[in-house]
Chains A and B, each alone.
Chain A
Amino acid sequence: MALLQIAEPGQSPLPHETRHAIGIDLGTTNSLVASVRQGMSHVMNDAEGRALVPSVVRYQEDGSVLVGYDALKAIAKDPKNTIASVKRLMGRSLTDIAHRENLPLDLVDNPGMVSVKTRQGVKTPVEVSAEILRVLNDRALQTLGQDIVGAVITVPAYFDDAQRQATKDAARLAGLNVLRLLNEPTAAAVAYGLDNSSEGVYAVYDLGGGTFDISILRLTRGVFEVLATGGDSALGGDDFDRRIYCWVLEKAQLKSPPTIEDTALLLLRSREAKEYLSTHPEAPITARLASGEVLDVTIDMATFAEISQMLVSKTLQPVKKTLRDAGLRPEDIQGVVMVGGATRIPLIQRAVGEFFKQEPLNNLDPDKVVALGAAIQANLLAGNRAPGEDWLLLDVIPLSLGLETMGGLVEKVIPRNSTLPVARAQEFTTYRDGQTAMMVHVVQGERELVDDGRSLARFELRGIPPMVAGAARIRVTFQVDADGLLSVTAREQTTGVEAHVEVKPSYGLSDDQITGMLKASVDHARDDAQTRALKETQVDAQRLIEAVRSALTEDRHLLNENEFQLIESDIVKLQTASLSGNRRQITIAMDDLDADCKEFAGRRMNQAVNRALAGKTIDSVEEAMHDLHQVANAPLKEKK
């Protein structure tokens, strides 16, 4: 029978309705999977009680695939078919990859993404990652004993669109439903419950096996925004092992040079010594080498501190630079989260504590903290939240979304940095009398003009009933779901005719492009504002001309020849002014036309009232007044 878990009061799930979701930390060196059970986030172990899955995949001769510890064992004897650190290849082309000459793999430059030639054929990094994800998914299925509705997978904050897409593709290939990709530092912050704590700026110091990342996050209203990221892609816990290894070789003065096996063994012993030193004052290192020679040395904490001091300060350089990028000083940081096994090293704890002048947060297992946070987020996204608990909103829109209005202007509907999911509606109206269709052009960007933004989609709303300009009410709704998928709906309010389009706003935009677009909007802010004002005035002028023209066609008999000529000449002046692009001139010409039309408007109003009053009830008179009022005051755009 199914095994049950304790629920919060009143929240026992109905049979078959427990919705399990998992969090996956797909790491460069190691991967983990976690889930929330009984209100707590737990990392799931394998049958032998191990939490980590080494991110290593081996393609074997018999066509089978090994993942994890078993694959790791073979890395020295079968390097070309055993792929480690595949995360470094995700979404990259051959030229993107630094130090590729050091990789033992046969890399193939496929269009779009580099691939690896193995004995089982050419494998893309997506396929290799999918193997790791499959193992994690199997473990989750066995542990939970139930179907999994989806997974949150973490990615480095600096991952660009292609790398994120590759990660999603890998998950899909492994049969996982991706609820969301989550930035690793954000996941760590969530694990510490910082999303529930006070607003402020936090630093996440992540020293993994082979990479170092520092991220500065700002928390506002439960939303984490990544302010800056930095790091060193070739610095990690393994470098500390190598330091000890070098020290051992120097100290032991071996008679014969170490073989490859000796090196592997000594590196393993060095690693064990490093871990032992986190809780003990000294660590013995003993090994029997291939030559039969026995090595026996002891390293103490002071020595370890001395030989690794350089590495520790090497991590602080990117920290300083990243803080500078974010325009912050160490004192501005409200909390420091430690991530990655290597942050257990007391020397690092101390150095980070001194730099930020505060105790770093380290009471959660630094190897697991990212997976734990991802699981918490996954649990919420799966819909398992207590009543009253806030919906966790973690992602923001990188660039504003809006649509084109008359004159090639952008009307922003959802401003940048809005949290996901989000929906905003705004009402627009028609520009011409009897207009029955409207083009909706969806644009992304911070600039005021459509031409400077990025066009995402165009669609047409047809079937608007013919009305005077400005009378139709068209409600345009922008909705962006948790995955960043935008859908835009335009609906004419009186008839209910609707048109709809779906777009992926971030598709194809790299972080650099986004940064570039943001920068341009700041650089051009003043120009844009002026251009916008001019365009708006031009639109207003055109609208006034249209309105007067249509009134003239209808009610010319209310004017004598002189009056008619005066208005006509005002219109011509306004046309000329509008073309000249001088905003002041346009305004003056508009005022003139407006003044000369006052009398005409008054007569038209009287005529309409007289007509309406002839044999009508009070109600219909009011209706007629209302219509007149609308004609007189119709704006092009109504903000709601």
Chain B
Amino acid sequence: MSVTMTERAAAHVGKALTQRGKGVGLRLGVRTAGCSGMAYRLEYVDDLADEDSVFESHGVKIVVDPKSLAYLDGTELDFVREGLNEGFKFNNPNVKDECGCGESFHV
């Protein structure tokens, strides 16, 4: 089981954490929501829960709760620029279908 991120994503997360001034890493998760059933969560982590799995990628900690891990195993988080817009993108091998906007998906 593993979840990783690209070097570019790690650099961006690292910078964001420094600017924020606190936080131990980045939480990746899924929850049931949206038009296609599931939605990603992408949050700073201040407190770790006991059941959390922690992965390290390019020096940045990725925190995933056990329920989400089932849907996220093998995912690589990337930071991309599309025109003027930039942000994080989940490359998740488990996804079968996404809604038109890509904000939610199902497995």
Contacts and interface: CB of A to CB of B under 8 A. Distances in A.
Interface string B25-38: 01101010111000
A110 interface: no
Contacts of A45: 84
Interface in B41-92: 41-47, 80, 82-90
A142 B103 contact: no
A8 B16 CA distance: 11
A7 B33 CA distance: 17
Contacts of A142: 83-85
B3 interface: no
B7 interface: no
Given A14-B34, A15-B33, A15-B104, A3 B87 contact: yes
Interface in A98-124: none
Interface string A38-55: 111000111100000000
B88 A6 contact: yes
A372 to B, nearest CB: 14
Nearest to A47: B84
Contact of B89 (A4, A16, A39, A143): A4
Contacts of A63: none
Interface string A428-444: 00000000000000000
Given A2-B103, A38-B16, A9 B43 contact: yes
Contacts of B84: 44-47, 139, 142-143
Identify the interface centre among B16, B86, B87: most chain A CB within 10 Å of its CB.
Answer: B87
A610 to B, nearest CB: 71
Interface string B2-40: 000000000001001001100000110101011100011
A588 B46 CA distance: 73
A12 B90 CA distance: 15
Given A11-B43, A14-B33, A40-B19, A5 B88 contact: yes
A1 B88 contact: no
Contacts of A14: 33-34, 39
Interface residues of A, number: 27
Contact of B86 (A3, A47, A139): A3
Nearest to A46: B84
A380 to B, nearest CB: 18
Contacts of A16: 34-35, 101, 103
A260 to B, nearest CB: 36
B102 interface: yes
A193 interface: no
Contacts of A1: 89-90, 98, 101-103
B107 interface: no
Contacts of A9: 27, 43-47
A8 B87 contact: no
Given A12-B43, A15-B33, A4 B87 contact: yes
B104 A143 contact: no
Contact of A15 (B16, B35, B47, B89): B35
A5 B43 contact: no
Contacts of A11: 43
A313 B29 CA distance: 59
A10 interface: yes
Identify the interface centre among A6, A16, A45, A144: most chain B CB within 10 Å of its CB.
Answer: A6
Nearest to A40: B19
B88 A143 contact: no
Interface in A13-30: 14-16
B43 A15 contact: no
Contacts of B35: 15-16
A465 interface: no
Contact of B42 (A6, A15, A47, A143): A6
Contacts of A46: 84
A111 B6 CA distance: 61
Given A1-B98, A6-B16, A9-B45, A15 B103 contact: yes
B40 A4 contact: yes
Interface in A377-415: none
B80 A3 contact: yes
A143 B85 contact: yes
A3 B89 contact: yes
A6 B13 contact: yes
Contacts of A7: 41-44
A44 B39 CA distance: 27
A46 B89 CA distance: 22
B17 to A, nearest CB: 9
Nearest to B95: A1
Contacts of A4: 40, 42, 87-90
A145 interface: yes
Nearest to A7: B43
B39 A3 contact: no
B33 A6 contact: no
A46 B90 CA distance: 26
Contacts of B42: 4-7, 12
Given A9-B45, A16-B101, A143-B84, 15 more contacts: A2-B102, A4-B89, A4-B90, A5-B42, A6-B44, A8-B44, A9-B47, A10-B43, A12-B31, A12-B42, A14-B39, A15-B99, A15-B103, A142-B83, A145-B82
10 contacts: A1-B89, A1-B90, A4-B40, A7-B42, A8-B44, A9-B44, A12-B42, A12-B43, A15-B35, A39-B20
